[in-house]
Amino acid sequence: MRIKAAVAHELKKPLVIEELELDEPKQGEVLLRLVASGICHSDDHVRVGNYPTPLPMVLGHEGGCIVDKIGPGVTKVKEGDHCVATWMPADHSCPYCVDGQSYLCDRGAGLLDGCMLDGSYRFHTLDGKDVGQMHYLGTFSEYTVVPEDSVVVIDNDLPLEKACIVGCAVPTGWGSAVKRAQVKPGSTVLVIGCGGIGTSVVQGARLAGARMIIVADINDDKLEMMKTFGATHFINNAKENLKDKVHDLTQGRGVDYAFEAIGTKKTQAETMEVTGKGGTSVFIGNESFFSESLPTSPEHFALWSKTLLGVLYGGCNPSTDVPRLLQLYKDGLVNLDDMVTKEYRLEQINEGFDDMLAGKNIRGVIRFD
């Protein structure tokens, strides 16, 4: 079938909206009709070359979809199911999955290759050249073919234009606070970066019972928005000294937990500096796969007994945590509605990237219907 998609052809160039040929789903695969797709910084990392990913590629890895057709052997979904597309198609049989860490599934080794699990491609140019799809998904497309394990079925009454961001941003941030760092009730928290992931960290920390949630960003409008999600204190770190301000708020102790949700060496270093003795820093953001060092001193570990955590997908398992987060949304405990700050048509995809990079959105979403 012929579909329309946003394709990255060259590094650091705008995405191109074009017609592609999309194959039928093969063994264990499903054809999805996209209703909405979130725009994430990871998409831009591919576009600019921070990830070692071959081009051309259909970007997008956060989708709210409807199952249009199932391939041979598919048993987990049926046609007409509403679903969230997630970028880790866990096989539920590798040692990590069996140990309850499906976000570390061995299938993740192929996330950046652009091909499907069998090594072949489903997207092609009209003259027959293969086109990759990001993280087995490629959700910047009217339709896509994905592994059935990339699909989490959700209730039909959930708005797909909101639920789509539970494919990446929400579990990554919420899980970083709740599952990876395991924020304790009554603790103090700092979140650097108020995008989709940082906002989700705030919501996770709030649900975990943190008494002080400090947010830092260079955009006053986004800082103001954070009141809606549970933040208690606000720092514009373009105008104020972050370390001094945090120490003022915590009587010189630093915070119990600090989350870096941007991915720059400067903010990573600041995260370690404002974490108190015995505290925990979590690096969520990623600047580039080609960085070879961490911007911090051994003194944080050897003298102050701090802990530095890495995190993938917030330590969440999509098959269980996506439904859990959507139930929290239904219960009014997780706010997805205000996280989606602007919607775009597919033809506006490059405007969406520009707005994201300018810090205008918490989460921008592409709408297809």
What is the CATH code of the structural domain delimited by 172-312?
A: 3.40.50.720
State the sign of the Cα–Cα–Cα–Cα dihedral 275, 280, 286, 292.
positive
> Taking the model in full, what pTM does it have?
0.95
Q: Which amino acid is at 28?
A: G
Task: Supply the pLDDT for residue 190.
Answer: 98
Query: Of residues 61, 82, 233, 300, which has the active-site annotation?
Result: 61
CATH pick for 2-153+339-367 out of 3.40.640.10, 3.60.15.10, 3.90.180.10, 3.90.1150.10: 3.90.180.10
Q: Which of 37, 41, 42, 176 is catalytic?
A: 42
Sign of CA dihedral 8, 14, 15, 17: negative
d(CA 66, CA 237): 42
Q: Domain extents for the chain?
A: 2-153+339-367, 172-312
**pLDDT, position 285:** 82
Per-residue pLDDT of the chain (369 residues; tens, 9 = 90+): 999 999 999 999 999 999 999 999 999 999 999 999 999 999 999 999 988 899 999 999 999 999 999 999 999 999 999 999 999 999 999 999 999 999 999 999 899 999 999 999 999 999 999 999 999 999 999 999 999 999 999 999 999 999 999 999 999 999 999 999 999 999 999 999 999 999 999 999 999 999 999 999 999 999 999 999 999 999 999 999 999 999 999 999 999 999 999 988 899 999 999 999 999 999 998 776 667 677 777 788 878 899 999 999 999 999 999 999 999 999 999 999 999 999 999 999 999 999 999 999 999 999 998
Residue 115 a catalytic site member: no
Active site residue 297: no
Tell me, what's the pLDDT at 26? 97
The residue annotated as part of the active site, out of 168, 176, 200, 319, is 168
Partners of 32 in beta bridges:
67, 144
124 flagged as catalytic:
no
Query: What is the identity of the amino acid at 6?
Result: A
Q: Is residue 242 classed as helix, strand or coil in its secondary structure? A: helix
Q: Judging by beta carbons within 10 Å of its beta carbon (0-12, 13-18, 19+), is residue 341 exposed, middle or buried? A: middle
Known active-site residue 247: no
